[in-house]
Amino acid sequence: MQTSLFGGADEPPPPGDAAPVGAAGSPEPGEEAAAAEPGWPPAPAGAETPLQPSLLDLAGSEEPGWRRLARALGRQRAGAAAGAAAGAAAAPAAPPSAVPADHPLRRLWPSGRPPEGLGARQRAQALEALRGAALGCTYCPLRAGCRGVVFGEGDPAARLVLVGEGPGATEDELGRPFVGRAGELLDRILEAAGFPRPSVFITNVVMCRPPGNRTPSEAEMAACRPWLEAKLELIRPDLVVALGSTAARALVDPAARITRLRGQWVERRGRRILPTYHPAALLRDPSKKREVWSDFQAVRDAYRALPPRPLREAGA
C-alpha cells in the first residue's frame, strides 16, 4: 500500500502543518505569484514556434543572442497586444524552440539539437556531454550572479521528469536541483507517490540562480530553453510534471495561470505534461497540499498505466 505524504494512503493533508517560507531573506524559487511576470506572447493559431521568424531574422547580428531574444520577445508582445486589442483569438502559444546561432549548445551540436537515431545508451552518454557543455554556459547574465550551473539529476532514461523554476541558494551552493526546503518536501511527495528520487529526472526552466530567487525573466527562460529541450529530447520522458507557474508557462502555455491549469494533463510535442503547484507554494500555503497530492496520485496512476518500453529501448 502507498503511504501518503500526509500520513495514510490517499489521505488529504492536515491543514496548517508547515511554516511559511520567505519571512526572512529571499523567497524560495517558485514561490512568487504567477502574476508576477507577464506570459509569453500569444502565437498565431496553429503556430508551432511563434518566435521563429523574429529569431531567425536576428541570426548574424553582432548583439549577444540572449539580448536579441529579449528584444524579439518585446516586439512579439507588442504585436500580440495589438492583435488582442483588435479582437484576435489568443491561441495558447507553444514556447519558442529556435536555437540562436550563437547559443553555446551549437558548439556541441551545430544543429542546436541532439543527434537523431541514438539508442538508449548513446542518449545517456549524450546527456552527459550535454551536462558538460551546459556547465560551461555563460550565455545569459544569470551565470555571472551565481556560483554555478545546476543541470539537473536523475535517471537519464526516466519516464517521469519534473521541471521546476530555477535553483535557489542551496541548489546553487550544492549544484543540485531541489535540495533546499522545497526540495525536501518534493522528495517526500515523490516517495509518498511511489517514486524514489533517483528513479525520476529533476531539472529546472533556468539552470542558474536568479538574484534573490526572483522569477526568471522571459529572456532568461528563452536563453536556457535549448538546454531544457535537449534534455527532454534525450531523456524522452512519457510524463512531465511542471512544478509551478514558471514551468507551466515554459512547457505548456506562455500565458498559463497555474491556478487554472493545475491538475489537467496536456500534451505537447508528444509528451504528457501535468502542471501542479510548486513545492515552495505548499510551504507558504499548506492548504494547497490537498490538490498537489491529488495531482501526484494522477501521475502515479498514469505512470502505472504506461505500456512497457520496447525491449531494445529498455535495455540500454
Question: Which of 182, 189, 208, 221 forms a contact with ligand URA (CB under 6 A)?
Answer: 182
Q: Show contacts with ligand URA in window 232-251 (CB under 6 A).
A: none
Question: From the CB of 228, what's the least distance to ligand URA, in Å?
Answer: 13
Per DSSP (E only), the strands in the chain are 153-154, 160-164, 201-204, 239-243, 266-268, 271-276
100 is a site residue for ligand URA (CB under 6 A): no
254 is a site residue for ligand URA (CB under 6 A): no
Question: Which of 5, 13, 21, 30 forms a contact with ligand URA (CB under 6 A)?
Answer: 30
27 is a site residue for ligand URA (CB under 6 A): no
C-beta separation of 123 from 234 below 8 A: yes
Q: Show contacts with ligand URA in window 265-284 (CB under 6 A).
A: 280
Give the three cell numbers for residue 118.
Answer: 541514438
Contacting residues for 164 by C-beta, under 8 A, at least 6 apart = 29, 30, 177, 178, 182, 202, 203, 204, 205, 243, 244, 246, 247, 278
177 is a site residue for ligand URA (CB under 6 A): yes
Give the three cell numbers for residue 112.
Answer: 542546436
165 is a site residue for ligand URA (CB under 6 A): yes
Residue with cell 516517495: 191
Strands 201-204 and 153-154: antiparallel
Question: Which of 166, 216, 237, 275 forms a contact with ligand URA (CB under 6 A)?
Answer: 166
178 is a site residue for ligand URA (CB under 6 A): yes
Q: CB-wise, 100 or 166, nearer to ligand URA?
A: 166
CA neighbor of 34 nearest in space, from 228, 262, 224, 240: 262
- Cα distances from 59 to residues 28, 48, 100, 110, 232, in angstroms, run 36, 19, 7, 14, 25
29 is a site residue for ligand URA (CB under 6 A): yes
183 is a site residue for ligand URA (CB under 6 A): yes
Question: From the CB of 312, what's the least distance to ligand URA, in Å?
Answer: 33
Question: From the CB of 177, what's the least distance to ligand URA, in Å?
Answer: 4
168 is a site residue for ligand URA (CB under 6 A): yes
Q: CB-wise, 80 or 252, nearer to ligand URA?
A: 252
Give the three cell numbers for residue 234.
Answer: 534525450
Strands 266-268 and 271-276: antiparallel
152 is a site residue for ligand URA (CB under 6 A): no
Helix H or strand E encompassing 188: helix 181-192
For ligand URA, the binding residues (CB under 6 A) are 28-30, 164-168, 171, 177-178, 180, 182-183, 204, 280
